[in-house]
A = this chain, B = another copy of it.
Amino acid sequence: MLKFEIKDLSTETRARTGRLQTERGTVDTPIFMPVGTLGTVKALSPEELTACGAQIILGNTYHLYLRPGCEVIDLFQGLHKFMHWDGPILTDSGGFQVFSLAKLSKISEQGYTFQSHVDGSRHTLTPEKSIEVQLSLDADIMMCLDQCIQYPASRAEAEAALELTTRWAKRCFDFWESNRRPQNNLFGIVQGGMFPDLRQRSAAQLTALDFPGFAIGGLSVGEPIDLMREMADFTLPLLPVEKPKYIMGVGTPEDLVELVAQGADMFDCVMPTRNARNGQLFTAQGTLNIANARFRKDTDPIEAGCICYTCRHYSRAYLRHLYKTRELLAYRLNTLHNIHYYLNLMADMRGAIARDEFVDFRSAFYRKRNISIDNDDR
């Protein structure tokens, strides 16, 4: 059973630190969870993840349900042994990928029907089925099946989606109550689009159920950054203060700093891993694109002072060479640096909150970024 203990509170913001105790280990919050879509955080080994400071990773139910399938995962009693990661794993419900990846997906009161994006096979994903698959994955934190909507969406669409999400959350909760093991926890997801009163209604309905934690879904679905942060800022205080609060699928380093200030505890995003594979590297001064010709003869590491494996041993010139020649090592070294950057940023924030210096930390964070070392993407 999940235990969440709040450790430190920032006096000038809503930022807080905490400890999330799962059966497979303790997670210091606020935390970023690297995304391991298909049972691997792309290009990295579990040992490298640990060396980068990873305490919990994410798996995608939709992807793992299709490949390798529960029949295979069950032989390993879950995802952990299959992928050689013995720390906590959070799995999503599969709903977001059905919505964004699957073909011919249809939604009804019962759940989703869809065709696999891999082989066109037909599948049904109900709230109960989603939890069943997540139990098969033996996830430490499971997510309720919800209905995701695009931005912009009408009020009527957003309202219908949140009401369905609540009815599904109840079904997920019931299924979980009947089938749970001590290690499998379930989070509810607040929807409501960009309508504050709908977010409020969703939060009220969801928090009526005794979930061990809550997530805010339906952000970063195409809306402007300011609106995303505004919705998070409005919704976070509606969730019980004593439970972990997870913002799904967000975001940039700036997003993380702002949302931690608002009181969020958990994050996941493909940005550090996906962007690494596209040559975009994160530093305190901003991002740099390693393909840039200016790095051809640059003997410096990605970021001076960074203690990640990549920065300790390799130059920008070498990383550019690997990237330009499409060497497999490029994706790995880039990913390693970016994951280290994200996890180190979270650790720095935890330290600043513990010392009650979060506002100073945030000022320094933005100050450094004004010294841009690359204008490729800002």
**Interface set of A (CB-CB < 8 Å, partner B):** 38-40, 42-45, 67-68, 71-72, 75-76, 82-84, 296-297, 299, 313-315, 317-318, 320-322, 324-325, 327-329, 331-332
Contacts and interface: CB of A to CB of B under 8 A. Distances in A.
Given A315-B82, A317-B82, A38 B325 contact: yes
A215 to B, nearest CB: 26
A67 B331 contact: no
A318 B71 contact: no
A322 B63 CA distance: 12
Contacts of A313: 84
B82 A322 contact: no
A82 B318 CA distance: 6
Given A67-B325, A75-B299, A82-B317, 8 more contacts: A38-B327, A43-B329, A67-B321, A71-B297, A72-B297, A72-B317, A82-B315, A83-B318
A220 B328 CA distance: 27
A40 B82 contact: no
Contacts of A322: 38-40
Contacts of A84: 313-314, 318
A321 B69 CA distance: 10
A38 B76 CA distance: 38
23 contacts: A38-B321, A38-B322, A38-B325, A39-B321, A39-B322, A40-B322, A40-B329, A42-B328, A42-B329, A43-B328, A43-B329, A43-B332, A45-B329, A45-B332, A67-B324, A67-B325, A68-B296, A68-B321, A72-B297, A83-B318, A84-B313, A84-B314, A328-B332
Nearest to A326: B38
Nearest to A45: B329
B76 A315 contact: yes
A321 B72 contact: yes
Contact of A76 (B39, B43, B299): B299
Contacts of A43: 328-329, 332
A137 to B, nearest CB: 13
A39 B329 CA distance: 10
A322 B322 CA distance: 22
A173 B319 CA distance: 35
- 4 residue pairs, one from A and one from B, having the closest CB atoms: A43-B328, A68-B321, A84-B313, A40-B329
A68 B321 CA distance: 6
A328 B328 contact: yes
* Interface-centre pick from A75, A76, A297, A325 (highest chain B CB count, 10 A): A325
A335 to B, nearest CB: 8
A97 to B, nearest CB: 14
A39 B318 contact: yes
Nearest to A41: B329
A82 B42 CA distance: 25
Contacts of A42: 327-329
A374 to B, nearest CB: 19
Given A39-B321, A82-B317, A318-B39, A75 B329 contact: no
Contacts of A45: 329, 332
Contacts of A40: 322, 327-329
A54 to B, nearest CB: 15
A299 B67 CA distance: 16
A248 to B, nearest CB: 23
Nearest to A321: B68
A38 B318 CA distance: 10
Given A75-B299, A299-B75, A322-B40, A68 B317 contact: yes
